[in-house]
Amino acid sequence: MKLGDLSITYVEVLAETMRHLGTDPAPILDQYNILPETLASPDTRISIPRFMRLGYEAIQHTRAPWLGLEMGRHTWPAQLGLAGLVAMTSRDVRDACQAMTEFELLTSFNARGSSAFVTEEGRAALKFYSISPYNAYNLFVVDSVLSSWSHILSVITGRKEGLLESVDIEFQEPSYSDVYRRYFACPINFGAASNRLVLQNSALNLPVTQRCHSVHENLKRQAERELDRVRLGLSVTEQVARTLAPLLDGETPELSKVASRLNMAPWTLRRRLQSEGMTYQDVLNATRKDLAISYIKETSLTLGEIAYLLGFGSAAAFQRAFRRWTGEAPGRFRENCR
C-alpha cells in the first residue's frame, strides 16, 4: 500500500503561490520532472511523499516557512474539483463543509486518514486528520489545508469575518506563529488534540452567494457517481487495507472495528475476505509490510515512529517483523534504498 497521492492541481497551487512570493517555480518543477503538460492533465496524481519533498524545496527557495498558509489563499473552489464545485453551489455553509469532506477522496487519498465535518462538544468543525510526527516536510500540509478551507468559506459566502470561532493545530507553535494572524481572523491554538477549523454556530446557516439548487444537485450526482466508481474499483481486501491504515496509530484494531467502519457485520466481512482467499490477519500483515516499506523508503521517520504508526508495541517488535518480511533489518534496507 502506498502512503497516498494527490491531484496534480495541488502542485499547480504550489507553483502559483511561489510566483506570488516572487520565486520562479520552474527550476523545482524541472527537478521533479513536472512538465507543463503534466500540470494540464486532469488524471495525473503525485505521491504524497513526493509532494512533501516538493513543498520542502519550495519553502527553501521562497524562504517562507509559512508557504502552506499562503497556498490556502491561492486555493479556489474549482481547484478542489467536484468537491469544490458542489460546495460552491451549496445552499449554506453547513452543506458546503459536508461536500468538501465527503468528496475529498476524488482529489486526495492518504493512508493516514481522511478529513471530516464533525460536531464535537456542541461545535461544528472541519477536521483534518493527524499526520504526526511533524517535521520540516509536513507542517506546510496542515497549514495549507486549514488555510484553504478558511479561504474557500470566505469566498463562497463573501465574508471575511464571522465564520470561525478558533483554529486548532496539533503541532507546537512554530517559529512563524505570528504570521497566522494574517490568515485567520480568530484565536489560534497550537498543541491541540486535533487539526480543525471550529466554526461559529451562527455561520452554519449562512447562505452561499452562488447557490443554485438545480446545478448543485447535478454536480452532486456526478460527484457521487465518481465516488462510487472509485470505491467499486476496490476489492474487499483493498477496502479493508485502506480502512486499517489510519487505525494503526499505536494499536492493532480488531476486525469488528474495521467492519463497523465499512458498515458490515464482522462475520460478513470475514466471509467476503475468505471469498478473495484472504483472512483479516493476512490483510493486517500485508498492510503493515507495505506501509513499512513506504515509510522507510519515502520518509525520514525514525524506526520508533514507524513502529508506532503501524501499531507495534515497540521498535524492537517492528524490526523483527520487518526482517521477517524482507530478510533485512529496516536500517540496512533504508541505507540500500538511498
Q: Give, to the nearest 10 degrees, the angle between helix 280-298 and helix 266-275.
A: 80
Question: Residue 211: which residues within 8 A CB-CB, separation 6 or more?
Answer: 89, 90, 91, 92
Mean predicted lDDT score pLDDT of the chain: 93
Q: What is the pLDDT of residues 265-311, one digit of tens each?
A: 999 999 999 999 999 999 999 999 999 999 998 888 899 999 999 98
Separation in Å, CA 171 to CA 28, 33, 291: 27, 32, 23
pLDDT over 90 percentage in the chain: 76
Q: What is the pLDDT of residues 159-192, one digit of tens each?
A: 989 999 999 999 999 999 999 999 998 999 999 9
The average pLDDT across 20-27 equals 96
- Phi, psi at 78, each rounded to 5°: -65, -25
**Domain assignments of the chain as residue spans, ordered by start:** 66-223, 236-337
pTM: 0.89
Per CATH, the number for 236-337 is 1.10.10.60
